Every structure is written in structure tokens, then in C-alpha cells.
């Protein structure tokens, strides 16, 4: 019954939207380009990046109730042929395109030259992130965030609930109305306005991680506009509650075990020849607390718990090789940090403190703002949390169920905004409108590593199950690390060949890099 209501609400929103789009013929949205980029961005970006803003409604259902400026960035193709526009999103949620261009300036070869030659790369700072009216919260409250694993008894639960409410309220008070419209449907309607403003006939897209939620949301809302779409590190939105927690926790553990195996065999691991499993298990044992030597320039929590180490280990597994431009250490450095912690110094595992007006903290705040509107939580009581923690500890003893979806499930308890875009299956009738069978003109390429530490291959399979007409193809990388394009291996080449030439790999191709 509830499901039906949600579906109706969804349909009526979609209908009013297509009405707006029809009217849009008269009032095509217009981007204001600023040269050079304002806010000091010109110096932070590689040469040639243009900065624009587009005024978009806070509430797409009630456009007159307020608007804000969406920040848009464009790096024009430098090839000789005609160029199309490629939208991208790097996930999070909380990832802003502006930080990606900053990483390029720091020397990161993020896009291949083939892509740069053939596509105008279009970056959008999604609403509430980067330079698009960023979410503001109280850092002093945020810095008191309690431990997830302590939230399963009455005292711990009360503390967590009090934190969640105070933190959420600070975000609501400091951000205003926008924080109530942070769901992925609102964000993708912003992207669609950008597509219209650019005059692109199709929406070509590369989305990684949580960016795959935005991609599939676009495909469901605007199936006839989908061009070439790559969903790298896929999320299946049918998975929610304990399913999503365990899908991610199991995936994290599988990747962790791969890390240990690597340590056993490769002398480059700082713990090679030692009991790396014993080290990890001791450091992450209940009650384990180590000091951190934080500096004034990079303040962090003075004490590091076992949970903090579990929590910070996961993002460090994102790329086995270092990607300095993206701040990813790679597994060799990670093993050194683990060895340092085994010596009693856990500084590099400490959680950085949020600070007033620091833009980098926006990503952390907007993460919860989106997640609590796209997922929310099924947990209501200490007993509920304890039950989830039992499952996590049983099925994933190495990481005890700790992962992003456990954080979302616990931190969204008592969050002040409504669950406006709850997880559910993609609407089969709308998805059936995607062009198919696969052809060069339009298709969805779903990419996943077998041992991705964050997005499970289950989700790449489950997402595929919801895309009918053979409009999608799966591509696998037989390795570890979260997402594949920025590793620049054979999988990246296959993605380039699809996005640029329209060449799809055979379904279920497995590549080794």
C-alpha cells in the first residue's frame, strides 16, 4: 500500500516535470559563463576550464518558492572533430566536480587524451556541494559524532540519537530550505536543465559509485534522452536496510582479505613476513584506543579507536596503486600506516576534525543530507541497532559490519528532513523506454570490479536486472579497488572506446586491469 502511494507521488512529479519541459521551449534555461572563473577558481583549475552558473529552483515542484545558483564547469574538447558533452559525477554522495578539476590541476591524468579530444567535459557541483550553495553545519557538533558500534545499548543509542538530532538541526538552521531538497531526483532534474541549456541532444554520462544512482535516476526520468552512459561501481537501489549494509560490509571484507593475501606474498607490504591479520585484528579489537599526534594545521581526533581504523581503512582501499592527485595512498603506504599503528602511533588513522567554513567539510555534511533523503533508515531503537550489529559482527567479523551504509542507517535516525526519495526498484515501464538492444547510439555500460571494497558485484548484477530490452551490458574487472576508469587499465580503454566510438564490449567481458 505504501509502495503504491510512493509510486503515485513519483508519477505525478514526473508528469508535472514533463509539463515544465514543454514550457521550457519558450524559456530555455541559460547558463551565465564567467571568464576568468570567479572565487579564485581560475588559479585552481587547469587552463581552459570555463565556469558558469545556472539558476535552478530549490523545489522543482514549486519553482517560484526560491532558487539558487548551480555551479557548472566545462573543459572544451581539444580534438579536431565535432565534440559532444559528457556529464560526470564522482559519487559520495557529496562529490563536487570542482574538486575533480582541482585534482587535474595537481597533475592527475584523470581523463584519457582520447576522451579530452572528443568530449566537452561538463562538471556540475551537485546542489548543496562545492560551489552550489554548499550545506553548512556546526563543525563543533559534528566533531562529537559517537561511535557506531557503541550505539546498540540504551546509553549509546541515546547519545547517538542526541548527536544526530543536534547535528541535523544545525545543518537545517545554517543551510535553510535547500537541505530539504537534497534527494537524487532533485539533483538529476538540475542536470537535465543543464543539458537543455547546453543544447545537447543526448545526455552522455560517466558516473562512478554514488554517481551511478544519479545515472539510473536520469535513465528512469528521461529515458529518451539517454545517450552513452557508463555506470562504474554500481549501486542497486532495491537494496536497502540491512541488505545494503551487508552487501557493502561483505564487499569490504572480501577486499580486506585480498589486502592480507597481498601482504603475505609481496615484500613491498610493510608487514610482509608478519602476522598482518593479527595486527589488524588487535588494532581493531573492542576497547582498543591509540593516541594520535595531530597538528594545528591538520587537527584530528586525539584518540583513535578500533572502529576509526576500520572506518578509515575502507576508503584507503579504494585504489591499490597510489593516486596522489585524488589523495589516495595506495596499498603500500596503507601497509606502512598499519605498521606505524602497530607501533602505537595511529595518527594517520585519526578522523580529521571539521572546521568552521572549511569547504572540504561540505562533502562530509552533504553526504548525510543526500543519504538521509535517498535512503533514510529502518532502525528506530537501540534493539534495532543491536540486531544489525549482531548480523554485521557475525557475517563480517573483520570489519564488524562497519561501512558507509551502516553509518547512514545509524546517523539518519532522527535526521530532520523527510525521506523524499526512498530506495526502490526502477520503474519497469519507464526503463522499458530506454533504447535497445545495445547499439552505438545509446546504451548503459555497467562496470564493476569483482573485489570492489565499496560497491558489490551483487549491485552491478541487480542493477542490470532492472534494465530491460538488452539496453545494458556488464563489464567486469578482475581485481580490487573501488571503480575502474581512473586506474587507466584495459577497463578504462574499454570505457573510452564505448564513450567515444560507441564500441561496446561483449556482454560480461572480464578484464584483468
Ligand X SMILES: *[C@@H]1O[C@H](CO)[C@@H](O)[C@H](O)[C@H]1NC(C)=O
Residues forming the site for ligand X (CB under 6 A): 78-79, 113, 116-117, 275, 278-279, 282, 293, 340, 345, 347-348, 356-357, 478, 510
Question: Could you give the residue ranges of the DSSP H alpha helices within 122-183?
Answer: 139-142, 154-175
Shortest Å distance, C-beta 363 to ligand X: 17
Shortest Å distance, C-beta 126 to ligand X: 21
Contact 402, 310 (CB under 8 A): yes
Question: Could you give the residue ranges of the DSSP H alpha helices within 294-381?
Answer: 306-316, 330-342, 360-374
- With CB atoms as reference, the residue minimizing the distance to ligand X is 278
Shortest Å distance, C-beta 64 to ligand X: 26
502 burial (CB, 10 Å; 0-12 / 13-18 / 19+) is middle
How many CB atoms are closer than 10 A to CB 143?
17
Shortest Å distance, C-beta 295 to ligand X: 7
Shortest Å distance, C-beta 275 to ligand X: 4
Shortest Å distance, C-beta 193 to ligand X: 27
Residue with smaller CB distance to ligand X, 96 or 116: 116
Shortest Å distance, C-beta 141 to ligand X: 15
Q: How far apart are the first and last CA of the chain?
A: 46
Q: Which of 55, 52, 75, 74 is nearest to 63 (CA)?
A: 55
Shortest Å distance, C-beta 11 to ligand X: 40
Provide φ and ψ at 430, rounded to 5°: -75, -40
Shortest Å distance, C-beta 205 to ligand X: 21
Residue with smaller CB distance to ligand X, 117 or 393: 117
Residue with smaller CB distance to ligand X, 275 or 321: 275
Residue with smaller CB distance to ligand X, 9 or 478: 478
In three-state form (DSSP H/G/I as H, E/B as E, the rest C), the secondary structure along 39-96 is: CCHHHHCCCCEEEEEEEEECCCCCHHHCEEEEEEEEECCCCCCCCEEEEEECCCCCCC
25 burial (CB, 10 Å; 0-12 / 13-18 / 19+) is exposed
Residue with smaller CB distance to ligand X, 279 or 382: 279
Sheet with 509-511: list strands edge to edge: 32-34, 49-57, 67-75, 119-124, 84-89, 203-208, 226-232, 443-451, 472-480, 509-511
Residue with smaller CB distance to ligand X, 279 or 354: 279
Residue with smaller CB distance to ligand X, 30 or 261: 261
Residue with smaller CB distance to ligand X, 27 or 357: 357
> Does an H or E element contain 242, and which?
helix 241-265
Number of residues that make up the chain: 513
Contact 426, 283 (CB under 8 A): no
Cell of 152: 546498540
> Residue-wise over 68-92: b if at least 16 C-beta within 10 A, else e?
bebbbbbbebeeeeebbbbbbbbbb
Residue with smaller CB distance to ligand X, 35 or 357: 357
Amino acid at each position: 500500500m505504501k509502495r503504491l502511494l510512493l509510486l503515485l507521488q513519483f508519477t505525478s512529479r514526473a508528469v508535472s516535470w514533463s509539463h515544465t519541459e514543454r514550457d521550457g521551449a519558450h524559456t530555455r534555461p541559460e547558463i551565465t559563463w564567467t571568464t576568468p572563473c570567479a572565487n579564485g577558481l581560475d588559479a585552481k583549475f587547469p587552463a581552459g576550464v570555463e565556469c558558469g552558473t545556472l539558476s535552478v529552483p530549490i523545489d522543482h515542484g514549486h519553482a517560484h518558492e526560491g532558487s539558487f545558483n548551480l555551479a557548472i564547469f566545462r573543459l572544451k574538447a581539444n580534438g579536431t572533430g565535432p565534440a559532444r558533452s559528457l556529464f560526470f559525477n564522482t559519487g559520495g554522495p557529496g562529490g563536487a566536480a570542482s574538486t575533480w578539476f582541482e585534482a587535474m590541476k595537481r597533475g592527475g591524468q584523470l581523463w584519457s587524451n582520447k576522451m579530452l579530444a572528443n568530449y566537452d567535459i561538463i562538471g556540475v557541483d551537485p546542489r548543496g556541494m562545492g560551489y552550489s550553495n554548499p550545506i553548512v553545519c556546526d563543525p563543533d557538533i559534528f566533531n562529537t559524532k559517537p561511535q557506531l558500534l557503541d550505539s546498540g545499548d540504551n546509553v549509546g543509542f541515546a547519545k547517538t540519537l542526541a548527536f544526530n538530532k543536534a547535528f541535523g538541526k544545525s545543518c537545517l538552521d545554517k543551510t535553510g530550505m535547500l537541505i530539504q531538497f537534497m534527494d537524487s531526483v532533485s539533483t538529476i532534474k538540475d542536470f537535465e536543465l543543464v543539458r537543455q541549456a547546453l543544447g545537447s541532444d543526448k545526455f552522455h554520462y560517466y558516473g562512478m559509485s554514488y554517481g551511478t544512482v544519479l545515472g539510473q535516476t536520469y535513465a528512469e526520468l528521461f529515458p529518451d534522452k539517454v545517450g552513452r552512459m557508463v555506470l562504474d561501481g554500481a549501486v542497486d537501489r532495491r537494496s536497502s536496510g540491512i541488505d545494503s549494509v551487508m552487501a557493502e560490509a561483505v564487499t569490504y571484507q572480501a577486499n580486506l582479505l585480498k589486502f592480507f593475501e597481498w601482504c603475505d606474498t609481496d615484500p613491498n607490504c610493510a608487514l610482509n613476513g608478519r602476522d598482518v591479520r593479527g595486527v589488524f585484528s588487535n588494532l581493531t579489537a573492542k576497547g582498543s584506543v591509540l593516541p594520535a599526534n595531530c597538528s594545528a594545521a591538520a587537527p584530528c581526533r586525539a584518540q583513535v579507536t578500533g572502529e576509526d581504523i576500520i572506518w578509515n581503512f575502507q576508503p584507503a582501499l579504494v585504489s591499490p596503486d597510489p593516486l596522489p592527485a585524488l589523495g589516495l595512498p595506495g596499498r603500500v603506504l596503507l601497509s606502512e600506516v598499519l605498521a606505524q599503528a602497530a607501533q602505537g602511533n595511529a595518527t594517520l588513522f585519526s578522523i580529521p576534525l571539521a572546521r568552521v567554513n572549511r569547504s572540504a567539510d561540505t562533502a562530509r555534511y552533504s553526504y548525510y543530507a543526500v543519504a538521509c533523503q535517498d535512503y533514510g533508515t529502518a532502525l528506530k531503537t537501540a534493539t534495532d541497532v543491536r540486531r544489525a550489529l549482531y548480523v554485521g559482527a557475525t557475517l563480517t567479523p573483520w570489519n564488524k559490519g562497519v561501512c558507509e551504509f551502516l553509518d547512514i542507517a545509524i546517523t539518519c535516525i532522527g535526521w530532520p528532513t523527510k525521506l523524499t526519495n526512498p530506495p526502490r526498484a526502477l520503474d519497469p515501464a519507464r526503463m522499458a523506454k530506454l533504447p535497445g538492444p545495445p547499439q552505438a547510439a545509446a546504451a548503459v555500460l555497467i562496470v564493476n570490479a569483482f573485489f570492489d571494497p565499496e560497491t558489490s558485484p551483487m549491485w552491478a548484477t541487480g542493477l542490470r536486472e532492472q534494465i530491460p530490452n538488452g539496453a545494458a551490458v556488464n563489464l567486469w574487472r578482475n581485481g580490487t579497488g573501488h571503480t575502474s576508469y581512473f586506474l587507466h587499465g584495459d577497463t578504462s580503454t574499454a570505457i573510452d572506446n564505448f564513450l567515444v566510438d560507441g564500441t561496446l564490449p561483449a556482454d560480461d567481458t572480464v578484464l584483468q586491469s
